[in-house]
């Protein structure tokens, strides 16, 4: 599926048509009393400005800093993540998968776009796109190469296809050189992609400034 | 169903291209389509599995040439008609021709958005029977091609795997999506070797894990 119908450089007639259809649909459903326009604004604000990958970064930073918390994530990720206030839609049943030198984990939803909203927000276009959904399970190392990630041959790759309502958060490896960093600073090393498994945590030198 | 949504293992779509500093929404209509879909879902007229089924039954050429929010939009329009919340005439004209009908749940109000989203919709249920399998058990997935909804992706059918963990007893999408009730079944994390799924040129020690319900599995 092309991801570029909404790119900024060719807003053609098809796009205008979609925009008009959405506007007509919204006003019809408001007029019929099914939806409250103020609720739409609230939903947009929630997922555009409040729920996002900074939530997941806090979980990872805490897991790196606190072995008991990491154990809790292993045993009951839903409860461990809820303890930081991240609960609800598309995060009802959480699993944390931990990257190690031996094992690299990567998450996909081949059938639709299941993604842990509570900790990562809404998925990026590439995650929902046919190239990622088709290739992640058959050629994960090729997909990682698209992201500029090359793993040692000795590292095994585990791909988690989100076929049910379990949602996966990758706990990336903690980089070297940040041993004495506090949690809030550690969180700056944790990128969204590192929590999907298509990236690694940033090297400390990159954010130390 | 064997729809265009079932993409695992397909080839020819090209590289994965990530956008730098990607915004959450790219246009105003994406914002509105997203929020309208969630607000309509809150009325309880259909469940999540029915929304997925509405999207994946789009004709493959349409599915593959639509952006993700266009797929959401097309799925929503289908559900509105199927459930009698709007007629095709109303959807085409944008004008109300029929009075609204009572919905199962009340309109989602702005003040209720944050709590409704923080609550979500857990799908674990009381177990009607003991789980058949435990971690380490060897299984083979069924070979089936239902015309209705399933979460057993094509690339996972008829393959040998091993139970990695037991998640609990969850709503069964194959039933729930068809309006036939939740019919909860045990859900397992099942581990498949890459060479089992994709052939001998793939590594035996790379794995794919999928979450599969008991009716998808046969012990071996």
pLDDT tens, B124-134?
A: 999 999 999 99
Partner-chain residue, chosen from B35, B64, B168, that has the shortest CB–CB distance to A1 = B64
Partner-chain residue, chosen from A52, A87, A157, that has the shortest CB–CB distance to B118 = A87
Specify the pLDDT at position A10.
47
The verdict on residue B79 lying in a domain is yes
What pTM, to 2 d.p., does this model score?
0.95
Domain ranges of chain A: 13-49, 52-207
Q: Are A186 and A61 in contact (CB under 8 A)?
A: yes
* Same-domain pairing of B81 and B152: no
- Domain count of chain B? 2
Mean pLDDT over A19-25 rounds to 94
Q: How far lies A5's CA from each of A12, A110, B7, B24, B68, in Å?
A: 8, 21, 20, 15, 10
Specify the pLDDT at position A2.
43
Contact status of B62 with chain A (Cβ, < 8 Å): no
Specify the pLDDT at position A15.
59
* Same-domain pairing of B114 and B175: no
| Mean per-residue pLDDT over chain A, rounded | 93
Specify the pLDDT at position A51.
97
* Same-domain pairing of B56 and B88: yes
Specify the pLDDT at position A12.
53
Contact status of A30 with chain B (Cβ, < 8 Å): no
Specify the pLDDT at position A16.
84
**Per-residue confidence at A26, pLDDT binned at 50, 70, 90?**
very high
What is the least distance, in Å, from the CA of B178 to any CA of chain A? 16
Contact status of A34 with chain B (Cβ, < 8 Å): yes
Residue A95 has pLDDT above 90, yes or no: yes
- Which positions in chain B touch A129 (Cβ < 8 Å)? 13, 16, 68
Provide the CATH topology of domain A52-207: Nitrile Hydratase; Chain A (3.90.330)
Q: Show the low-confidence residues of chain B (pLDDT under 50).
A: none
Q: What is the CATH number of the domain that holds B89?
A: 1.10.472.20
* Residue A134 to residue B7, Cβ atoms within 8 A: yes
* Same-domain pairing of B32 and B112: yes
What is the least distance, in Å, from the CA of A81 to any CA of chain B? 13
- Which positions in chain B touch A135 (Cβ < 8 Å)? 11, 13, 16
pLDDT in tens, A114-167: 999 999 999 999 999 999 999 999 999 999 999 999 999 999 999 999 999 999
Specify the pLDDT at position A3.
43
Contact status of B21 with chain A (Cβ, < 8 Å): no
Q: What is the CATH number of the domain that holds B195?
A: 2.30.30.50
What is the DSSP code string of chain B?
Answer: ---TT--TT---S----PPTT--S-SSHHHHHHHHHHHHHHTT-SS-HHHHHHHHHTS-HHHHHTS-HHHHHHHHHHHHHHHTTSS-HHHHHH-S--S-----SSPPPPGGGHHHHHHH----B---SS--S--TT-EEEE-----SS--SS-GGGTT-EEEEEEEEEEE--HHHHTTTS----EEEEEEEEEHHHHH-TTS-TT-EEEEEEEGGGEEE-
- Which positions in chain B touch A125 (Cβ < 8 Å)? 19, 22, 26, 67-68
**Per-residue confidence at A14, pLDDT binned at 50, 70, 90?**
low
Contact status of B55 with chain A (Cβ, < 8 Å): yes
Specify the pLDDT at position B93.
87
Active site residues of A: 109, 112-114
Domain that holds residue B181: 138-219
The verdict on residue B146 lying in a domain is yes
Residue A1 has pLDDT above 60, yes or no: no
* Residue B107 to residue A34, Cβ atoms within 8 A: yes
pLDDT in tens, A154-204: 999 999 999 999 999 999 999 999 999 999 999 999 999 999 999 999 999
* Same-domain pairing of B112 and B142: no
* Same-domain pairing of B95 and B167: no
ipTM above 0.90, yes or no: yes
* Same-domain pairing of B32 and B106: yes
Nearest residue on chain A to B149, alpha-carbon basis: A111
Specify the pLDDT at position B200.
87
Determine what percent of chain A is predicted with pLDDT higher than 70: 92
Nearest residue on chain A to B3, alpha-carbon basis: A111
């Amino acid at each position: 599926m092309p991801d570029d119908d909404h790119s900024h450089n060719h807003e053609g007639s098809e796009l205008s048509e979609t925009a008009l259809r959405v506007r007509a649909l919204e006003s019809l459903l408001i007029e019929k009393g099914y939806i409250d326009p103020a609720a739409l604004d609230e939903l947009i604000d929630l997922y555009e400005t409040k729920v996002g990958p900074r939530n997941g970064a806090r979980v990872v930073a805490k897991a790196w800093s606190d072995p008991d918390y990491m154990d809790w994530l292993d045993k009951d990720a839903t409860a461990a993540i809820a303890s930081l206030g991240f609960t609800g839609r598309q995060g009802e049943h959480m699993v944390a998968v931990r990257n190690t030198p031996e094992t690299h984990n990567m998450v996909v939803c081949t059938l639709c776009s299941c993604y842990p909203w509570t900790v990562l927000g809404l998925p990026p276009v590439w995650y929902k796109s046919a190239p990622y959904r088709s290739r992640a399970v058959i050629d994960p190392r090729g997909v990682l190469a698209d992201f500029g990630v090359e793993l040692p041959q000795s590292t095994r790759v585990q791909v988690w296809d989100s076929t049910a309502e379990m949602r996966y958060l990758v706990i990336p490896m903690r980089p070297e050189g940040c041993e004495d960093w506090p949690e809030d600073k550690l969180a700056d090393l944790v990128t969204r992609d590192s929590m999907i498994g298509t990236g690694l945590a940033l090297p400390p030198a990159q954010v130390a400034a | 169903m064997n729809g265009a949504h079932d993409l695992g293992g397909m080839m020819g779509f090209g590289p994965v291209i990530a956008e730098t500093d990607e915004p959450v929404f790219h246009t105003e209509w994406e914002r509105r389509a997203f929020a309208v879909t969630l607000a309509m879902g809150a009325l309880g007229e259909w469940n999540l599995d029915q929304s997925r089924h509405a999207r994946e039954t789009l004709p493959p050429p349409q599915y593959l040439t639509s952006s993700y929010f266009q797929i959401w939009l097309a799925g929503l329009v289908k559900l509105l008609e199927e459930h009698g919340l709007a007629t095709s005439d109303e959807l085409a004209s944008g004008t109300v021709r029929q009075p609204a009908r009572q919905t199962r749940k009340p309109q989602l109000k702005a003040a209720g958005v944050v709590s409704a989203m923080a609550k979500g919709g857990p799908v674990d249920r009381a177990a009607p029977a003991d789980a058949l399998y435990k971690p380490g058990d060897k299984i083979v997935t069924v070979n089936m091609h239902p015309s209705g909804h399933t979460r057993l992706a094509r690339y996972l059918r008829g393959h040998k795997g091993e139970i990695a963990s037991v998640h609990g007893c969850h709503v069964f999408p194959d039933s729930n999506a068809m309006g036939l009730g939740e019919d909860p079944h045990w859900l397992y994390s099942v581990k498949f070797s890459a060479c089992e799924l994709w052939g001998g040129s793939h590594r035996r020690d790379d794995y794919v894990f999928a979450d599969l319900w008991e009716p998808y599995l046969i012990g071996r």
